[in-house]
Amino acid sequence: MDKEKKWISDVKTGDARESAGKLIEKYYKEIYAFMYRQCGNKDDAMDLTQDTFTSFLTSIGTYDPEKCSVRTWLYRIASNKVIDLRRTNHSFDIDIDELQIPEEIDRIRQAEQKELLTEIDGYVSKQDKESESVFRLRLYENLSFAEIGASLGISEGSAKMKYHRLIEKIRKEFGDEH
């Protein structure tokens, strides 16, 4: 973590090129994978990832390591980029075969029904954007509720509540047997 702090410091003081490259290199694959899972399209994922790192580097002067980690801050920027894209009514074509469904919703995994997974994904996409983001960050990125809260600007308790309420809605909508 000391290297990361030095890279941040270097970028803030103007010695940016090499340190910025190292920061991007460290987090690029992870942020790209998150973006791809959010939109299901390689081109959109690449554009969103580039936008995320551009915003990251242009606003790095406001980054406060006392408030959150670089990773959490990047996820906050990335989540906002996805929300901005969705606000433009951009449709997402998600390839269900490439979705990674974690153990927490094992009932859905066991169903192995593309139609059901597509319906659930569509259902989640119709929820308020904050709940959708909490759900996706928890399940697809395995972030803790504290990290989710920090990345979305909400409390840890609020992140937990939104997640569990959405899980309950999914259970009610699609049946507990899945």
Instruction: List, as one string, the DSSP characters of 45-73.
Output: HHHHHHHHHHHHHHTGGG--TTT--HHHH
Cβ atoms within 10 Å, residue 26 = 15
pLDDT for 155 = 94
Q: pLDDT band at 101, cuts 50/70/90?
A: very low
Helix (H) or strand (E) holding 6: helix 2-13
Q: pLDDT band at 94, cuts 50/70/90?
A: low
Long-range residue pairs from 54-57, CB within 8 A, at least 24 positions apart, any chain: 55/81, 56/23, 57/11, 57/16, 57/20
CA–CA separation, 136 and 9 (whole Å)? 31
In the three-class reduction of DSSP (H, G, I as helix; E, B as strand; rest coil), residue 33 is classed as: helix
Residue 113: φ, ψ to 5° = -115, 110
CA–CA separation, 149 and 134 (whole Å)? 8
pLDDT digits (tens, 9 = 90+) for 30-49: 889 888 888 877 888 899 99
Whole-number mean pLDDT of the chain?
78
Helix (H) or strand (E) holding 117: helix 114-125
Give Dmax (Cα) for the chain. Answer: 57
Domains of the chain and CATH, by start: 1-93 (1.10.1740.10), 95-178 (1.10.10.10)
pLDDT above 70: percentage of residues in the chain: 79
pLDDT at 98 over 60: no
pLDDT at 111 over 70: no
Arithmetic mean of pLDDT, 110-117: 56
Q: pLDDT band at 108, cuts 50/70/90?
A: very low
pLDDT for 174 = 76
Q: Of 60, 37, 32, which is closest to residue 48 (Cα–Cα)?
A: 32
pLDDT at 131 over 60: yes
Determine if the pTM surpasses 0.75.
Answer: no
